[in-house]
Amino acid sequence: MADYKSNYLQEVLETHKMKHIKDVFDKYRDRRNEIKDFLNSEYGSKIYSPFDSGSYSKHTAVNTKFDLDAVVPFKYKSFNTLEDMFNDIYEKLNDKFNDRTTVRKQGVSIGLAFEEDDIEIDIVPARETRVDGYIETRNLNLHINSLDPSETGYLKTNIKKQIDHISGKENERKIIRLLKIWKFQHSKKYKSFFFELLVIKAYGYTSPTGNLWEQFKAVLQYVVDNIENDTFKLPDPGNGANDLINTLEPYQKNSLRSDFELMLTNIGNNEKQIEYYFEKNEEFSEESNNNSLSYGVAGASPVSTPSSTQRFG
């Protein structure tokens, strides 16, 4: 017998595929390429080639909430300090694009919001950790921007290692997308990168099998059982000293555990409750009914598509 919960989650994922908004995405990509071309012309030999990053590069993007990211790796001697680098690229972007967009300083990036076509691009300035070190290691330092001087500083990272960490993990990507959909629809503030590491760790420890719901359920249960343990860690693959679990306060860990525990209980008592926790993108729902199996889990048995009457209530 087909599993309704797995069917429904597959439909949710299908309706959130990026392919449904190809024209919109192409506009984002063209705008990002325009910014990268401008930075190449401005900085020339001071930088290595800017590269794309973020959820689209990791294949975890969903079509209801996304932006595009680009990393600009500067050579070590290009600026005396990371803060000088950050401020200089902000000023250049602001001078170039301020008549078309709002340019703002963010935590480690510079955001450009183009109001006329509702496009948001994040540019991440970075500098290699030593002379010519980027070519060998891909290690980079980011400037941490904050209005509070005590919170400014730098963060070492390796975005290539972060992308490699999720490479080939098709089942994990599906669960990450579901959690991103949940957090967006229910106004949760957890970082997507936190969910990414959390899901990959859960798979590493529990090796979930079965259909999409069974694997999703196993991940939620792993979080419920472990998130508040004092020894629980989520090291950044790009910098082992950066533990993402430290981005959560104790009350946030407790809240996440409670949310997942309640979700499991409610859906266990009534499978239709899954429609409360995960809403389909109805704009693409009917189009996706014939394609829902394309988001199936590797190794799982095929399941049939729910009838059109089984919609989000």
Give DSSP secondary structure letters for 299-313.
TSPP-PPPPTT----
Tokens (6 digits) for 98 = 């301020």
Q: What is the mean pLDDT of residues 54-67?
A: 87
Q: Where are the domains of the chain?
A: 4-16+169-295, 19-165
pLDDT for the residue 309: 28
> Each residue of 197-249: pLDDT tens digit?
999 999 999 999 999 999 999 999 999 999 999 999 999 999 999 999 999 99
Asked whether the predicted pLDDT for residue 313 surpasses 80, the reply is no
Q: What values do phi and psi take at 309, rounded to 5?
A: -80, -15
Count of Cβ atoms closer than 10 Å to residue 292 Cβ? 22
> Each residue of 248-288: pLDDT tens digit?
999 999 999 999 999 999 999 999 999 999 999 989 987 55
Q: Calculate ∠ Cα 17-51-87, nearest 5°.
A: 115
Kindly indicate the confidence band of residue 289, based on its pLDDT and cuts at 50, 70 and 90.
Answer: low
Tokens (6 digits) for 268 = 């266990």
Cβ neighbors of 181 (< 8 A, separation 6 or more) are: 12, 13, 16, 62, 64, 278, 279
Please tell me the class of the 4-16+169-295 domain: mainly alpha
Asked whether the predicted pLDDT for residue 126 surpasses 90, the reply is yes
Percent of the chain with pLDDT over 90: 81
Q: What is the mean pLDDT of residues 118-131?
A: 95
How far is CA 243 from its chain centroid? 17
> Each residue of 152-177: pLDDT tens digit?
999 999 999 999 999 999 999 999 99
Tell me if residue 210 falls in helix, strand or coil: coil
Q: Highest-confidence range of 41-50, 280-289, 299-308, by mean pLDDT?
A: 41-50
For residues 68 and 75, give the distance between their C-alpha atoms in angstroms, rounded to a whole number: 23
Kindly indicate the confidence band of residue 151, based on its pLDDT and cuts at 50, 70 and 90.
Answer: confident
**Residues present in the chain in total:** 313
Q: What values do phi and psi take at 96, rounded to 5?
A: -80, -40
Buried b (16+ CB within 10 A) or exposed e, 256-288: bbebbeebeeebeeeeeebbebbbbbeebbeeb
Asked whether the predicted pLDDT for residue 297 surpasses 60, the reply is no
Provide the mean pLDDT of the chain: 90
The domain over range 19-165 is classified in CATH as 3.30.460.90: yes
Tokens (6 digits) for 251 = 């009350």
Among residues 197, 81, 217, 49, which one has the least CA distance to residue 145? 81
Report which DSSP code applies to 134: H
> Each residue of 94-116: pLDDT tens digit?
999 999 999 999 999 999 999 87
Asked whether the predicted pLDDT for residue 190 surpasses 70, the reply is yes
Q: What is the mean pLDDT of residues 64-76?
A: 91
For residues 178 and 10, give the distance between their C-alpha atoms in angstroms, rounded to a whole number: 10
Asked whether the predicted pLDDT for residue 1 surpasses 70, the reply is no
pLDDT for the residue 2: 52
pLDDT for the residue 160: 93
**Is there a shared CATH topology between the 4-16+169-295 domain and the 19-165 domain?**
no
Q: Highest-confidence range of 2-6, 17-21, 39-43, by mean pLDDT?
A: 39-43
End-to-end Cα, the chain, rounded Å: 23
pLDDT for the residue 75: 98
Q: What is the mean pLDDT of residues 11-29?
A: 93
Tokens (6 digits) for 63 = 């079509």
pLDDT for the residue 307: 31
